[in-house]
Protein backbone atom coordinates (compact mmCIF):
# COMPACT_ATOMS: atom_id res chain seq x y z
CA UNK A 1 0.00 0.00 0.00
CA UNK A 2 1.47 3.40 -0.97
CA UNK A 3 2.45 5.92 1.66
CA UNK A 4 -0.21 8.65 1.64
CA UNK A 5 1.06 10.74 4.53
CA UNK A 6 3.83 12.64 2.76
CA UNK A 7 3.51 16.44 2.46
CA UNK A 8 3.14 16.14 -1.30
CA UNK A 9 0.30 13.61 -0.94
CA UNK A 10 -1.43 15.84 1.57
CA UNK A 11 -1.03 18.79 -0.79
CA UNK A 12 -2.78 16.98 -3.64
CA UNK A 13 -5.51 15.83 -1.23
CA UNK A 14 -6.01 19.46 -0.23
CA UNK A 15 -6.27 20.47 -3.87
CA UNK A 16 -8.77 17.69 -4.51
CA UNK A 17 -11.06 18.69 -1.64
CA UNK A 18 -10.75 22.37 -2.54
CA UNK A 19 -11.84 21.64 -6.10
CA UNK A 20 -14.76 19.59 -4.79
CA UNK A 21 -15.86 22.50 -2.59
CA UNK A 22 -15.62 25.02 -5.42
CA UNK A 23 -17.44 22.64 -7.78
CA UNK A 24 -20.29 22.09 -5.35
CA UNK A 25 -20.57 25.85 -4.79
CA UNK A 26 -20.72 26.46 -8.54
CA UNK A 27 -23.49 23.90 -8.98
CA UNK A 28 -25.56 24.90 -5.94
CA UNK A 29 -25.37 28.70 -6.28
CA UNK A 30 -24.81 29.38 -9.97
CA UNK A 31 -26.15 26.20 -11.62
CA UNK A 32 -22.89 25.80 -13.56
CA UNK A 33 -23.07 22.07 -14.02
CA UNK A 34 -20.27 21.80 -16.60
CA UNK A 35 -17.94 23.80 -14.35
CA UNK A 36 -18.87 21.55 -11.43
CA UNK A 37 -18.22 18.43 -13.52
CA UNK A 38 -14.82 19.72 -14.70
CA UNK A 39 -13.79 20.61 -11.15
CA UNK A 40 -15.00 17.23 -9.91
CA UNK A 41 -12.92 15.37 -12.50
CA UNK A 42 -9.91 17.52 -11.61
CA UNK A 43 -10.45 16.68 -7.93
CA UNK A 44 -10.44 12.96 -8.73
CA UNK A 45 -7.18 13.34 -10.68
CA UNK A 46 -5.50 15.24 -7.83
CA UNK A 47 -6.71 12.66 -5.32
CA UNK A 48 -5.26 9.82 -7.39
CA UNK A 49 -1.94 11.67 -7.74
CA UNK A 50 -1.82 12.18 -3.98
CA UNK A 51 -2.69 8.56 -3.26
CA UNK A 52 -0.04 7.17 -5.64
CA UNK A 53 2.51 9.93 -5.18
CA UNK A 54 5.27 7.66 -3.84
CA UNK A 55 4.95 5.46 -6.91
CA UNK A 56 4.76 8.38 -9.33
CA UNK A 57 8.12 9.75 -8.17
CA UNK A 58 9.94 7.13 -10.22
CA UNK A 59 8.16 8.28 -13.38
CA UNK A 60 8.39 12.03 -12.80
CA UNK A 61 12.08 12.14 -12.00
CA UNK A 62 13.94 13.26 -8.87
CA UNK A 63 14.21 16.92 -9.84
CA UNK A 64 10.47 17.57 -10.24
CA UNK A 65 9.42 15.38 -7.31
CA UNK A 66 12.14 16.88 -5.12
CA UNK A 67 10.92 20.42 -5.86
CA UNK A 68 7.31 19.48 -5.07
CA UNK A 69 8.25 17.75 -1.82
CA UNK A 70 10.48 20.63 -0.70
CA UNK A 71 7.76 23.19 -1.35
CA UNK A 72 4.97 21.18 0.28
CA UNK A 73 7.16 20.50 3.33
CA UNK A 74 7.45 24.26 4.02
CA UNK A 75 4.81 25.48 6.50
CA UNK A 76 4.80 28.85 4.75
CA UNK A 77 3.42 27.17 1.65
CA UNK A 78 0.53 25.71 3.63
CA UNK A 79 -0.09 29.04 5.27
CA UNK A 80 -0.23 30.72 1.86
CA UNK A 81 -2.59 28.02 0.60
CA UNK A 82 -4.94 28.53 3.57
CA UNK A 83 -4.86 32.30 3.11
CA UNK A 84 -5.61 31.87 -0.61
CA UNK A 85 -8.61 29.65 0.14
CA UNK A 86 -9.92 32.13 2.73
CA UNK A 87 -9.50 35.04 0.32
CA UNK A 88 -11.40 33.12 -2.36
CA UNK A 89 -14.25 32.35 0.04
CA UNK A 90 -14.44 35.98 1.21
CA UNK A 91 -14.34 37.45 -2.31
CA UNK A 92 -16.89 34.92 -3.53
CA UNK A 93 -19.22 35.77 -0.65
CA UNK A 94 -18.90 39.52 -1.27
CA UNK A 95 -19.54 39.09 -5.00
CA UNK A 96 -22.58 36.87 -4.29
CA UNK A 97 -23.93 39.41 -1.81
CA UNK A 98 -23.57 42.21 -4.37
CA UNK A 99 -25.35 40.09 -6.97
CA UNK A 100 -28.16 39.23 -4.56
CA UNK A 101 -28.62 42.90 -3.65
CA UNK A 102 -28.63 43.88 -7.31
CA UNK A 103 -31.19 41.19 -8.12
CA UNK A 104 -33.34 42.28 -5.18
CA UNK A 105 -33.18 45.85 -6.43
CA UNK A 106 -34.22 44.74 -9.91
CA UNK A 107 -37.12 42.71 -8.53
CA UNK A 108 -38.38 45.51 -6.27
CA UNK A 109 -37.84 48.50 -8.56
CA UNK A 110 -37.10 47.76 -12.19
CA UNK A 111 -39.49 44.86 -12.83
CA UNK A 112 -42.58 46.59 -11.36
CA UNK A 113 -41.72 49.74 -13.30
CA UNK A 114 -41.34 47.71 -16.49
CA UNK A 115 -44.65 45.92 -15.89
CA UNK A 116 -46.33 49.27 -15.26
CA UNK A 117 -44.95 50.66 -18.51
CA UNK A 118 -46.14 47.60 -20.42
CA UNK A 119 -49.62 47.88 -18.90
CA UNK A 120 -49.79 51.56 -19.76
CA UNK A 121 -49.14 50.79 -23.41
CA UNK A 122 -51.07 47.54 -23.76
CA UNK A 123 -54.03 47.38 -21.40
CA UNK A 124 -57.18 49.13 -22.64
CA UNK A 125 -59.36 51.09 -20.24
CA UNK A 126 -62.52 49.38 -19.09
CA UNK A 127 -65.00 49.27 -16.24
CA UNK A 128 -65.56 46.16 -14.19
CA UNK A 129 -69.15 45.08 -13.49
CA UNK A 130 -68.82 46.33 -9.92
CA UNK A 131 -67.64 49.75 -11.13
CA UNK A 132 -70.56 50.07 -13.53
CA UNK A 133 -72.98 49.10 -10.77
CA UNK A 134 -71.41 51.56 -8.33
CA UNK A 135 -71.60 54.47 -10.79
CA UNK A 136 -75.22 53.69 -11.60
CA UNK A 137 -76.17 53.32 -7.95
CA UNK A 138 -74.63 56.69 -7.04
CA UNK A 139 -76.25 58.57 -9.95
CA UNK A 140 -79.67 57.09 -9.14
CA UNK A 141 -79.62 58.84 -5.74
CA UNK A 142 -80.10 62.23 -7.44
CA UNK A 143 -82.52 63.74 -9.96
CA UNK A 144 -81.83 62.54 -13.48
CA UNK A 145 -79.84 64.65 -15.91
CA UNK A 146 -78.66 64.38 -19.47
CA UNK A 147 -75.20 64.74 -20.91
CA UNK A 148 -73.26 64.51 -24.14
CA UNK A 149 -70.35 62.14 -24.57
CA UNK A 150 -67.49 63.33 -26.74
CA UNK A 151 -65.09 60.59 -27.75
CA UNK A 152 -61.90 60.66 -29.78
CA UNK A 153 -61.83 58.59 -32.96
CA UNK A 154 -60.01 55.63 -31.43
CA UNK A 155 -61.05 52.00 -30.96
CA UNK A 156 -59.88 51.80 -27.36
CA UNK A 157 -61.61 55.05 -26.43
CA UNK A 158 -64.77 53.85 -28.20
CA UNK A 159 -64.87 50.65 -26.14
CA UNK A 160 -64.34 52.65 -22.94
CA UNK A 161 -67.19 54.97 -23.98
CA UNK A 162 -69.53 51.98 -24.22
CA UNK A 163 -68.67 50.97 -20.63
CA UNK A 164 -69.23 54.50 -19.32
CA UNK A 165 -72.48 54.91 -21.23
CA UNK A 166 -73.80 51.65 -19.80
CA UNK A 167 -72.92 52.71 -16.25
CA UNK A 168 -74.48 56.17 -16.63
CA UNK A 169 -77.69 54.79 -18.11
CA UNK A 170 -77.92 52.33 -15.21
CA UNK A 171 -78.24 55.40 -13.00
CA UNK A 172 -81.25 56.63 -14.97
CA UNK A 173 -79.37 59.46 -16.68
CA UNK A 174 -79.83 60.12 -20.38
CA UNK A 175 -77.11 60.25 -23.01
CA UNK A 176 -78.24 63.18 -25.13
CA UNK A 177 -75.85 62.45 -27.99
CA UNK A 178 -72.47 60.91 -28.76
CA UNK A 179 -70.03 63.12 -30.66
CA UNK A 180 -66.98 61.66 -32.37
CA UNK A 181 -64.16 64.20 -32.39
CA UNK A 182 -60.71 64.28 -33.96
CA UNK A 183 -59.05 66.09 -31.06
CA UNK A 184 -59.51 65.78 -27.31
CA UNK A 185 -57.46 66.04 -24.17
CA UNK A 186 -55.83 62.76 -23.11
CA UNK A 187 -57.68 60.73 -20.53
CA UNK A 188 -61.16 61.29 -19.15
CA UNK A 189 -62.44 64.80 -18.43
CA UNK A 190 -65.71 66.54 -17.54
CA UNK A 191 -66.76 69.82 -19.14
CA UNK A 192 -69.70 71.73 -17.71
CA UNK A 193 -70.93 74.81 -19.60
CA UNK A 194 -73.37 76.89 -17.52
CA UNK A 195 -75.73 79.77 -17.96
CA UNK A 196 -75.01 83.00 -16.16
CA UNK A 197 -77.76 82.25 -13.67
CA UNK A 198 -76.33 78.81 -12.91
CA UNK A 199 -72.84 80.15 -12.30
CA UNK A 200 -74.20 82.68 -9.82
CA UNK A 201 -76.10 79.98 -7.94
CA UNK A 202 -74.36 78.74 -4.82
CA UNK A 203 -73.40 75.08 -4.63
CA UNK A 204 -75.82 73.16 -2.44
CA UNK A 205 -74.38 69.94 -0.90
CA UNK A 206 -77.90 68.54 -0.60
CA UNK A 207 -78.63 69.25 -4.26
CA UNK A 208 -75.29 69.38 -6.10
CA UNK A 209 -74.95 70.37 -9.70
CA UNK A 210 -74.84 67.62 -12.30
CA UNK A 211 -71.10 67.92 -12.95
CA UNK A 212 -70.34 67.43 -9.24
CA UNK A 213 -72.64 64.40 -9.10
CA UNK A 214 -70.97 62.77 -12.11
CA UNK A 215 -67.50 63.55 -10.81
CA UNK A 216 -68.26 62.02 -7.43
CA UNK A 217 -69.81 58.92 -9.02
CA UNK A 218 -66.67 58.26 -11.07
CA UNK A 219 -64.34 58.97 -8.17
CA UNK A 220 -66.25 56.72 -5.81
CA UNK A 221 -66.06 53.88 -8.34
CA UNK A 222 -62.29 54.29 -8.69
CA UNK A 223 -62.37 55.80 -12.18
CA UNK A 224 -59.75 58.58 -12.33
CA UNK A 225 -60.56 61.91 -13.91
CA UNK A 226 -57.85 63.81 -15.71
CA UNK A 227 -59.48 67.20 -15.39
CA UNK A 228 -62.63 69.26 -15.24
CA UNK A 229 -63.58 72.52 -16.85
CA UNK A 230 -66.28 74.53 -18.49
CA UNK A 231 -67.42 77.96 -19.46
CA UNK A 232 -70.32 80.33 -19.65
CA UNK A 233 -71.93 82.71 -22.08
CA UNK A 234 -74.67 85.28 -21.91
CA UNK A 235 -76.31 83.63 -24.90
CA UNK A 236 -76.65 80.23 -23.22
CA UNK A 237 -80.15 79.25 -22.23
CA UNK A 238 -79.42 75.92 -20.53
CA UNK A 239 -76.55 74.07 -18.93
CA UNK A 240 -74.62 71.52 -21.00
CA UNK A 241 -72.68 68.64 -19.44
CA UNK A 242 -70.02 66.82 -21.45
CA UNK A 243 -68.02 63.69 -20.64
CA UNK A 244 -64.94 63.83 -22.85
CA UNK A 245 -62.98 60.65 -23.60
CA UNK A 246 -59.57 61.21 -25.12
CA UNK A 247 -56.86 58.69 -25.87
CA UNK A 248 -55.60 56.79 -22.84
CA UNK A 249 -52.74 58.34 -20.97
CA UNK A 250 -49.39 56.55 -21.22
CA UNK A 251 -47.86 57.86 -18.00
CA UNK A 252 -50.26 56.45 -15.42
CA UNK A 253 -51.59 53.05 -14.44
CA UNK A 254 -55.14 52.44 -13.30
CA UNK A 255 -55.50 49.45 -11.03
CA UNK A 256 -58.53 47.39 -11.88
CA UNK A 257 -61.07 46.74 -9.14
CA UNK A 258 -62.93 43.46 -9.00
Nearest partner of 172 among 204, 141, 142, 140, judged by Cα: 140
Nearest partner of 10 among 63, 59, 74, 64, judged by Cα: 74
Give yes or no for residue 37 having a pLDDT over 90: no
pLDDT in tens, 220-232: 999 999 999 988 8
Q: What order of strands is seen across the sheet that includes strand 240-245? A: 174-181, 146-152, 240-245, 188-193, 228-229
Look at residue 258 in the predicted model and tell me its pLDDT: 42
Which range among 11-20, 55-64, 151-160 shows the weakest confidence by mean pLDDT? 55-64
Q: Phi and psi at residue 126, in whole multiples of 5°? A: -165, 165
Give yes or no for residue 119 having a pLDDT over 70: no
Of the pLDDT bands very low, low, confident and very high (cuts 50, 70, 90), residue 157 is: very high
**CB 11, CB 64: distance < 8 Å:** no
CA distances to 38, 126, 137, 177, 199 from 217, rounded to whole Å, are 68, 16, 9, 20, 22
Give yes or no for residue 159 having a pLDDT over 90: yes
Nearest partner of 13 among 62, 61, 63, 78, judged by Cα: 78
Concatenated DSSP letters of 195-234: -HHHHTSPP-TTS--HHHHHHHHHHHTT-----EE--B-T
More confident residue, 42 or 89: 42
Mean pLDDT in residue range 43-49: 83
Q: Is the pTM of this model over 0.75?
A: no
Mean pLDDT in residue range 58-84: 73
Give yes or no for residue 136 having a pLDDT over 90: yes
pLDDT over 70 for what percent of the chain? 82
* Residue 98 CA, distance from chain mean position: 20
Of the pLDDT bands very low, low, confident and very high (cuts 50, 70, 90), residue 115 is: low
Amino acid sequence: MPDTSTPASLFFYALAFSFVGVGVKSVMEKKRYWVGLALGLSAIIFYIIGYYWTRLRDFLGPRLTGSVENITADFRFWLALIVLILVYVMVSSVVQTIRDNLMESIIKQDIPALNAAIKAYLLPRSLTPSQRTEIGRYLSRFPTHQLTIRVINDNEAGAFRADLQNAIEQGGWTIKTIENVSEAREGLTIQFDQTQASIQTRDDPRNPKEDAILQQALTQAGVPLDGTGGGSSSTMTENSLFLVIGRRRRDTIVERRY
